[in-house]
Structure 1
Amino acid sequence: MMEVERPITVGDFAPRVGKTFAVPVRGHRLEMRLDAAQELPGSSRIGGGFRLEFIGPLDPVLAQGIFPFEIARDRYEIFVVPIARDQSCTRYEAVFF
């Protein structure tokens, strides 16, 4: 697994919309599907601003925090916040601005 150490960009994620990331949490591996990768204009952040939206299982609900998101050979440390929940899933958002 290769930890991505440069500033990440929307370009790292846009091709992966619809793909599933593994998120190791407390001895389990949750599956989180990337549902959206949206550019956020006007950011002075190196690499530009963007937001990600993930769909995870109904339970367990992750508290806001930094978690490792793994896909293929890449690993990203991402701060996510739960933003919505319905009968079948929990949605999470990450904002890079």
Structure 2
Amino acid sequence: MAGTADLAALSIDDFAPHLDAAFEMQAAGGAVPLKLVKVDPAGNSGRAGGAFSLIFVAPTGPWLPQAIYPVQHPALGTMEIFLVPVGPAFGGNSYQAIFA
């Protein structure tokens, strides 16, 4: 597995190839499987490569509060991502991360 990812260095191009891939979020109650279901550009920003949005979906069940969670992926490594619950979608609980 890759190490800890530098969030400032990640771009939409790093995530786009992993659409529909499995990720894992570490929460207080244990590991939660996630699937990356949407990768969208979000306009220009002061960020190199521009802003972008990711939507992850977790299995249905209790919602986790918005917070910074360690999210792991075999190729991208571990990322500390601020995830916000955005409602039921894609057959589960969806969470959004915005890189701006």
Q: Counterparts in 2 of 1:14-93, with a 5 A limit?
A: 14-73=16-75, 74-85=77-88, 88-93=91-96
- Counterparts of 2:99 and 2:33 in 1: how far apart (Å)? 22
DSSP 3-state at the match of 1:18? coil
CA RMSD of aligned residues (A): 1.7
Give percent identity, aligned residues only. Answer: 29
What is the TM-score when the length of structure 1 is the normalising length? 0.87
Return closer, same or farther for 1:6/1:56 CA change in 2, 3 Å cut-off. Answer: closer
Q: Hey, what does 1:4 align to over in structure 2?
A: 5
- Counterparts of 2:60 and 2:46 in 1: how far apart (Å)? 35
Segments of 5+ residues of structure 2 without an aligned counterpart are none
Segments of 5+ residues of structure 1 without an aligned counterpart are none
**Structure 1 runs of 4+ off > 4 angstroms?**
none
